[in-house]
Structure 1
Amino acid sequence: MGESLVIQETRATRKQWDVEFTSHPEEVAMLRRVVALRLAAWGLPELVDTARLCVSELVSNVLTHVGIGTPGLLVVSVNGADLRIEVHDPDTRALPAVVLADADAEGGRGMTLVDALADRWGVQLHEHHKVTWCELATGAAPPGDSTGHPSVTRAEALLDLYATLRPPKCSYESGPGRVGRMVAEESAIDAITDFLRWFRAHGCDVEEALDRAQTRYDAEPDGVGGGWSRASSA
């Protein structure tokens, strides 16, 4: 009974966890071990093997392309239904990429493996450092999850199509399956902008259309509507 309560409390308090490291081959094995322990404590043993591989490749990428002795930061967190793994390093020029390595090549498969294992991955560039990240689905829906709502399903299908008709300007975003989250957000903004232009081109009242859309959104009975307000979000 006591052990079960501890496990439930641990799963409910999956606070972001991070550890600094210096890129050396022996550090890779250490980081693999501590990530495995962290995920076990969080009640995510089914993700241990995949997460350890992703950590190995992301950290090894720093070791290989930035250099031995490079200071780095590993950050692990749970965002909604996803486990997020980030590796921070100070080099904004050496950008990771998927490379089709020869069958007998000893290296070059790092990000290709991450691309195959993760649900999505990408790179965020900052002024003095970059963040290479990947996300793994935990299989659990977050509280108040509404991703299965018909409206959300229709929107995802439209965004997948829209991204092919008008590729967004986002860079450094990749991942198998559906378009990455950042790309989808950019596509959604493009789609909203185009629809507003369509309303105006056909002599419709844009403000009235937005008000009607907000009214329908707020009236959703199952929590999909979030009380969004154009005034409060401006």
Structure 2
Amino acid sequence: MTEPLVLELLALPKAVAEVRHAVREHLGAPCPEAQLCVSELLTNMINHVGEGAAVTVRLFLTPDGRTRLEVTDPDPHTWLIARSPSGDDETGRGLLLLDAVARRWGVWLTPIGKTVWCELPPDASTAQAGGEPTSP
């Protein structure tokens, strides 16, 4: 089993594509659901916490084979709110997409920020990822 993917970076729009690429490379196979989820989590963080914030992205397999993505940022006060955008709204669908694709997702607060996470069901294309988190 390979080590988890851990990326520490500045939250900039150009980082979204770079992180999607890193996730695909780490998994070693097409992984559209994982790439979509990491894109949405990171973009949401950039839009609501702000560009340039320090962020950590982690990807690993849980012991039962689920792919888990985590995005940690330094702002415990910016909370996620699922919206109900109208057909004309250009934004507001990120958490709806996450909810549709992920098996489950959530947020936990820490003394220094928050982590937004999601888990994808076991999938043969992601069986090469590995490692376990150091926290829940």
Gaps of at least 5 residues in structure 1 are 1-12, 141-181, 183-234
In structure 2, C-alpha distance between the alignment counterparts of 1:125 and 1:112, rounded to whole Å? 21
In structure 2, C-alpha distance between the alignment counterparts of 1:102 and 1:28, rounded to whole Å? 25
TM-score (norm 1): 0.51
Q: Which residue of 2 aligns with 1:122?
A: 106
Higher relative contact order (CA 8 A, sep 6+): 2
Q: 1:70 aligns with which of 53, 62, 68?
A: 53
Q: 1:86 aligns with which of 45, 70, 75?
A: 70
| TM superposition shift of 1:112 | 1.1
In structure 1, C-alpha distance between the alignment counterparts of 2:106 and 2:80, rounded to whole Å? 9
Q: Which residue of 2 aligns with 1:52?
A: 35
Alignment RMSD (CA, Å): 1.5
Q: Which residue of 1 aligns with 2:24?
A: 36
TM-score (norm 2): 0.86
| TM superposition shift of 1:24 | 1.0
Q: Comparing 49-58 with 97-106, which one deviates more in the overlay?
A: 97-106
Question: Which aligned runs of 4 or more in structure 1 are off by greater than 6 angstroms?
Answer: none
Query: Which of the pair is proportionally richer in strand?
Result: 2
Tell me the number of residue pairs that the alignment of Structure 1 and Structure 2 aligns. 124
In structure 1, C-alpha distance between the alignment counterparts of 2:119 and 2:70, rounded to whole Å? 9
Q: Which residue of 1 aligns with 2:11?
A: 23
| TM superposition shift of 1:33 | 0.5
| TM superposition shift of 1:14 | 2.7
Contact 1:57/1:110 (8 A) holds in 2: yes
In structure 2, C-alpha distance between the alignment counterparts of 1:64 and 1:105, rounded to whole Å? 16
Contact 1:72/1:89 (8 A) holds in 2: yes
Task: Please give the per-residue CA displacement for 1:121-163, whole angstroms capped at 9, x wherever unaligned.
Answer: 00011111100000001147xxxxxxxxxxxxxxxxxxxxxxx
Query: Which of the pair is proportionally richer in helix?
Result: 1
| TM superposition shift of 1:97 | 2.4
What residue identity is the alignment partner of 1:50? E
Identity %: 36
Query: SS of 2:40's equivalent?
Result: helix
Contact 1:14/1:78 (8 A) holds in 2: no
